[in-house]
Structures are given as C-alpha cells and as structure tokens.
C-alpha cells in the first residue's frame, strides 16, 4: 500500500497551491472589506480574470471530460484542488466546469445549457430544497403539470446556491405524485426569462442563498432533463458528487488556521513565556493536527474510490461528517488560542468561524450523514473493517 502521491498529483497540488498564494490570497483584504460593507466579496469581472489566468497555466475544466475541452484529471486531483482552494476564503473557483447532472443533457440541450455553462457564458443553480423539504428531498411539493407541449411549474425553492445570480435553474418538481419520489419527480431546465424570480436570504455567513418562486412558469417539453420520473436519481447523483468536496475544502482551511495559531502561539507571551510552552495550547494544536490528517485520508479514499468506479457513497458520508465537524473544532480552537483578538474583525478568524458552521448543514446535515452511515451498517450494505 503506497500512500505517496504520483509526480503528476504532486505537480497538480503544488501548482494550485502556488497559484492560490500568488493570485488569490492577496485579494483577501478586499474580500473582507466588501463583505463587511454588504457587497459581494469580489466583482464578477475580477473572478473571471482570475479564471482566465488559471486557464493560461492549464487549470480549466479540471474534471470536465476531454470531449468538452476539459482536463478530466479525476476525483482525487479534484479533491487536492479543493483542498488548496480551501486555504483562502476568497470566493474563487476554477472555470470550465458544469454541474455533473448537466451531462444528462440531450444534444440540443448541450448546445443551449451544458456547453455555454462550461465556457462560462451561462450560470446554473440546483433547485431542490424547499421550505418543507430539506434533508427529506423526496417530500418536495413543487409541481409540474403537463399542458399540451409545455409543463407548468408552481412552487417555491429555498436556500439555493447561486439562486440570485443564475440565468437558469435545474428545477425538481413532482410530475406524478402517485409514483412517489423514485418515479414521480422530474428535473427541468428553466431559464430565468421564463418567469421565475429570486430573492436573497441573509445569513450569518457571507453566503446569501436564494429563494426561488415559480408561479405558473411555462417550460417547453424539450426542457425536461433526462427521463420523466427519474429526477430523484439525478438529484442524488448531484448531492453525492459534492459530498466529499466539503471535507476537502475543510482540510485546506484548517491547515491555514492552525498555521496562524502556531505563529501566534510562538509570538504571544504570557507570564513570561510564549503561549507555545503552555500544555493547554499544545494539546489544542496536537488534536487539530490529528483530526486534519484523519480527514485527509478519509476524503482521499472517497475520491480514489470514485476514480476506481467503486460505490463511494458510504465513504463520502464518513468524510463529510468527520471533516465538517473537524473544521468547526479547529476554527474554535484557533479562535480560543488568539483570545480576544480572534473574536475581533481585525483578523479573519471570525469570518472562517461563520463560514465553517455551514459545513455541518449543507449537502446533508450531520444528522443525515449519521442516518446514512448507521443504515448502511444495520442493513448490511457495508461491513465494519471492510477495506
């Protein structure tokens, strides 16, 4: 069993790390200033310029298939990329990608939605969650009723990432209530110009999701994504692909934060000695290092399993649950080590503190991950110690 990264994997990690340090991290003061004045962290033009510079060094469509102009480096490379991006809170993502379920587009839909999204000319949002259906995704109430050659959609979606910026939504709606979630939910590609509207939802963090309202929105029948009645499968495919990305980002953020704690503990003197000499501080640092390392290998294994074509859903839930909680524990310790300064807005720790609290909620709450893990074990889908 060889845990060493290949030369290509090290090159990917080091190149992304250098890019983030050189091009992205210097923008952190601007992001903090803008966010604290109630504006987006960075203008869209700045983010697109960053993506263009990344494209110039080969980072475009990291996990996008070759036929669409992507690098298709695989899940493990993508995990390492997100780990490096997690080292900064600047809201930057490499370009050239699209939601995984958009690859279910037919040839005509590819021209209108998939390819323009990959090229950065269109922006999508995944519209599943509703006021009465969060973790219980099969309980959605938004309906789509067929009228001639159109579907008429009515309902409300909530906490939709990119819901205020997207020009089209992947909307999940009930098309046949009698068949239940596994045969009665379908997915539609719905342009904003078709009539849906959105409102920003203020949060304690710097992520303002959207509330989407659909009132008799008419959608052409050719905008059905995939097969009628198979929308729930698409939704689970989207959620499953994102689940191990969260702990990957958590690793990078936690390492950056612990680095800040190490520097501060060596410099800050109390009662004649640096904080670094205090056992209480040493234990916080040691526990954080152990938890970060555990998260890394749980996450890498989930990504590796995807690359091998294995069912990684159980491993992804393990990584998501552990990694999300690790991030919250680490940022809390780092704030504690910094004392009062950690609580101020002079340092970015409080900003990370608020952001990381969301890790335990979106893309499946802690409770849902525990439910999935326990169910898999109790029903025999997986066995303890089965490597």
Specify the CATH number for the domain of residue 43: 1.10.540.10
Q: What's the structural domain count of the chain? A: 3
Report d(CA 173, CA 228) in Å as an integer: 10
CA Rg value for the chain: 22
Residue 242, pLDDT above cutoff 80? no
SS3 category, 203: coil
Partnered with residue 198 across adjacent β-strands are: 212
Buried b (16+ CB within 10 A) or exposed e, 321-344: bbbbbbbbbbbbbbbebbeeebee
Confidence band, pLDDT 50/70/90 cuts, at residue 149: very high
Asked if residue 111 belongs to a domain, the reply is no
Q: What is the CATH number of the domain that holds 184?
A: 2.40.110.10
Asked if residue 197 belongs to a domain, the reply is yes
69 shares its domain with 174: no
SS3 category, 241: helix
Asked if residue 171 belongs to a domain, the reply is yes
Asked if residue 108 belongs to a domain, the reply is no
pLDDT score at 293: 98
Determine which helix (DSSP H) or strand (DSSP E) holds 1, and give its type and residue range.
Answer: none
372 shares its domain with 310: yes
Domain limit, last residue, from 184, 210, 232: 232
Whether this prediction's pTM lies above 0.75 is answered by yes
- For CA atoms 92, 98, 100, 101, the dihedral sign is positive
**Domain limits for position 145:** 124-232
Q: What is the pLDDT of residues 168-217, one digit of tens each?
A: 999 999 999 888 888 899 999 999 999 999 999 999 988 889 999 999 99
Domain limit, last residue, from 212, 232, 252: 232
282 shares its domain with 215: no
Give me the chain's average pLDDT, please. Answer: 94
277 shares its domain with 370: yes
pLDDT score at 31: 95
137 shares its domain with 68: no
Residue 243, pLDDT above cutoff 90? no
138 shares its domain with 222: yes
Asked if residue 54 belongs to a domain, the reply is yes
Domain limit, last residue, from 232, 255, 283: 232
- Count helices and strands in the chain by DSSP H and E runs: 14, 10
pLDDT score at 32: 94
Residue 101, pLDDT above cutoff 80? yes
pLDDT score at 138: 83
Asked if residue 190 belongs to a domain, the reply is yes
Inter-axis angle of helices 245-267 and 75-85, nearest 10: 40
Strands 224-225 and 185-191: what pairing?
A: antiparallel
Q: Are the C-beta atoms of 322 and 301 separated by less than 8 Å?
A: no
275 shares its domain with 366: yes
Q: Are the C-beta atoms of 313 and 319 separated by less than 8 Å?
A: no
Asked if residue 383 belongs to a domain, the reply is no
Q: What is the CATH number of the domain that holds 254?
A: 1.20.140.10
């Amino acid at each position: 069993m060889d845990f060493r990264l290949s030369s290509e994997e090290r090159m990917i990690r080091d190149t992304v790390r250098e890019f983030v340090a050189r091009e992205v991290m210097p923008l952190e003061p601007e992001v903090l200033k803008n966010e604290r004045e109630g504006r987006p962290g960075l203008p869209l033009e700045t983010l697109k310029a960053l993506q263009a510079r990344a494209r110039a060094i080969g980072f475009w469509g990291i996990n996008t298939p070759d036929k669409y102009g992507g690098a298709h480096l695989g899940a493990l490379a993508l995990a390492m990329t997100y780990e490096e991006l997690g080292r900064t809170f600047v809201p930057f993502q490499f370009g050239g990608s699209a939601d995984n379920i958009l690859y279910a587009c037919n040839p005509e839909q590819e021209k209108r939605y998939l390819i323009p999204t990959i090229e950065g000319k269109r922006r999508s949002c995944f519209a599943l969650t509703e006021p009465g259906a969060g973790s219980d995704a099969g309980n959605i109430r938004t309906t789509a009723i067929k009228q001639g050659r159109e579907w008429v959609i009515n309902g409300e979606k909530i906490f939709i990432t990119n819901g205020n910026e997207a020009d089209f939504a992947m909307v999940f709606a009930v098309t046949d209530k009698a068949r239940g979630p596994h045969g009665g939910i379908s997915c539609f590609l719905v342009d904003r110009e078709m009539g849906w509207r959105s409102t920003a939802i203020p949060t304690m963090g710097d992520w303002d999701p959207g509330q989407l309202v659909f009132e008799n929105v008419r959608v052409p029948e050719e905008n059905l994504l995939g097969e009628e009645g198979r929308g729930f499968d698409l939704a689970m495919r989207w959620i499953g692909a994102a689940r191990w990305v969260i702990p990957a980002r958590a690793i990078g953020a936690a390492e950056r934060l612990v680095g800040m704690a190490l520097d501060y503990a060596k410099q800050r003197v109390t009662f004649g000695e640096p904080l670094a000499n205090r056992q209480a501080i040493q234990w916080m640092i040691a526990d954080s290092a152990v938890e970060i390392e555990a998260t890394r290998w749980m996450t890498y294994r989930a990504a590796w399993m995807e690359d091998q074509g294995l069912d990684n859903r159980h491993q992804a839930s393990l990584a998501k649950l552990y990694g999300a909680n690790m991030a919250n524990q680490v940022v809390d310790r780092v704030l504690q080590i910094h004392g009062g300064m950690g609580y101020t807005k002079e340092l970015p720790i409080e900003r990370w503190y608020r952001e990381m609290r969301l890790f335990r909620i979106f893309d499946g709450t802690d409770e849902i991950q525990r439910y999935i893990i326990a169910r898999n074990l109790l029903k025999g889908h997986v066995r303890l110690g089965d490597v």
